[in-house]
A and B are shown apart, each in its own frame.
Chain A
Amino acid sequence: MALSALLVREFDELVKNYPERRAALILALHRCQETDGWISPETMENLGTYFALEPVEVYGVASFYPMFRLRPVGKHVVSICHNISCDLRGAQDVIAQVCKLTGAPLHGTSKDGKWTVETVECAGACANAPMFDLDGVYHEDLDADKVAKILGGVK
């Protein structure tokens, strides 16, 4: 399936912000991931066509950046910071609790396809550690009650 007309229109506007079209590639990858949940080989081919790049060059960029997911993920993604400031305040307990509550192994997806759980490096929430990002929204100053409440509220 080709890029949707909506995305193409959006990219046509984005590339105007730069002297070279290619500069919009990372923003385009973000938009595709927001739409599809991940960056499929087909998306990389489509973006290659749009930006006049070989698909492998798009892959080279997509695979460099940890935020881009090159495999499908669950309906909801929990990204838990496990860097130093969060570790000092219980990030490992958060990881264990999230895995338990969601039934997903770390870096994996729950059997029902509802949850993917991953760790990330410092997310810049150090003064409100520990934290996770749930579907693009930061949740900070976590403790067991708060984690249970947040995950319990997800449909």
Chain B
Amino acid sequence: MKAFETYLLDRAKKDGAHRLDEYKKLGGYKALEKVLKTGLTPGAVIDEMKKSNLRGRGGAGFPTGMKWSFMPDPAKDPRPRYLAINADESEPGTCKDRVLMERDPHGLVEGSLIAAYAIRAQAVYIYVRGEYRKSHDRVRDAVLEARAAKLVGKNILGSDFSCEVFMHKGAGAYICGEETGLMESLEGKRGHPRPKPPFPAMSGLWGKPTTVNNVETVFNAPFIIERGGAWLAGIGTKGSSGNFLCGISGHVNKPGVYELPFGVTAQEIVEEKAGGIWKGRGLKAWFPGGSSCALLTGKDIDVVLDHDSLKARGSSLGTAAMIMIDDQTSMARVMEIIARFYDHESCGQCSQCREGTQWLSQIFHRIAAGKGQPDDVDTLDALAKGMAPGKTICALSDAAAIPTLSAIKLFREELMTCVREKRDPLAVKQPEYAVVGAH
């Protein structure tokens, strides 16, 4: 791996950087000051973001500057408008935003304020998943400190920019990480995604113009403002700019959250950061960006980590959460867990998803238990193709279908062997315990 400049985790690695005084000592709130005191217009901030080519880090990879520019012109549309920060990090394998919130929460607050300024939002709602109590409390305390220092609230730093920042909590539902599900949840309802259009920029929270951004996405904004869009655009590859946080988990020696520039290969990450596959074993399969991506095999470990390169291999970057699976692991077992997860998390609005995720889960479960039927693998294939693409209100159905189709493509023979032999040859004997009721 070539040497590279870091910036995302520099403060997070220092103790005490979560406090305002320390954050300021490390250069914090300089970018916000630059925006408010040098007369940068909201349009100029958006232009800088566009120049940087920053793409959202929440999974979809949408260009951030473009997303911000979708917000209507306040001269023509004077309705209140909002920024919602998606800190509902729940994609299996993904644990990166938590590091930023726990260790460098002011970075999120400053980034949110710059985003709010650019889209002219009066209020920011930071939606933190309910389980992340420490993240929530750290960001809440940062907001309190910032408010006391006149960095949040009325006339920030003496400018005519006023913006409130409010904390909000989820309560364990994966679907609330989907931006319209998140908005429903923020309004105090079941997290049922909304059909699009209308898009959030026109009709979001309480029917008002809204932008939803991931934590790591807005965390980049202060660096872009301070160092310039061209600086970020100069890091990475064509189509994927900057550094990103890669959470690597599963069968590696040193799982962790690492900062890397786009353009490194998966192999470099596994070997130079994660200490290689554990127990001296080989790599059988891996998810490059959370469990909603297509599986790849060990042969694809040479792939460059960026949006286009992973797409070319038939998968996607997602949240850059690499889940590594060694060569002694049963793929029937892996898919049983993945399918169970989507079944558990489907909101139930769309029949393809509600029924489809349940069927996928039941079928993978019986294949893994050695009770598969001869046509089960074909049934999985037909079901998954009936669930996606684009057949439902949101992408959860796709998120269940994509790994399923990849597992069938790459591991059909292994799944068929479980069916034929009426047992999973790679199954590990699991410990026993009593269970009551259904979850």
A residues contacting B by CB (< 8 A) are 17-20, 22-27, 29-30, 51, 60-61, 64-68, 82-85, 87-89, 92-93, 95-97, 99-100, 105-108, 118-129, 133, 136-138
Contacts and interface: CB of A to CB of B under 8 A. Distances in A.
A99 to B, nearest CB: 4
Contacts of B257: 127
B55 to A, nearest CB: 22
Interface of B is mostly: loop
Nearest to B174: A121
B251 to A, nearest CB: 6
B255 A129 contact: yes
Contact of B323 (A82, A88, A121): A88
B103 to A, nearest CB: 14
Nearest to A103: B434
Interface in B80-132: 80, 89-95, 98, 129-132
B251 A26 contact: no
Interface residues on B, range: 35 or more
B366 interface: no
A57 B191 CA distance: 13
B44 interface: no
Contact of A26 (B185, B341, B433): B185
Given A85-B93, A127-B247, A67 B206 contact: no
A124 B132 contact: yes
Contacts of A87: 333, 337
B171 A83 contact: no
B93 A22 contact: no
8 contacts: A60-B190, A84-B338, A106-B433, A124-B129, A126-B249, A127-B255, A129-B250, A138-B134
A85 B435 contact: no
Contacts of A124: 89-90, 94-95, 98, 129, 131-132
A18 B55 CA distance: 29
Most buried by A among B321, B435, B437: B435
A9 to B, nearest CB: 18
B8 to A, nearest CB: 15
Give the residue among A100, A118, A122, A125 with the most B Cβ atoms within 10 A.
Answer: A122
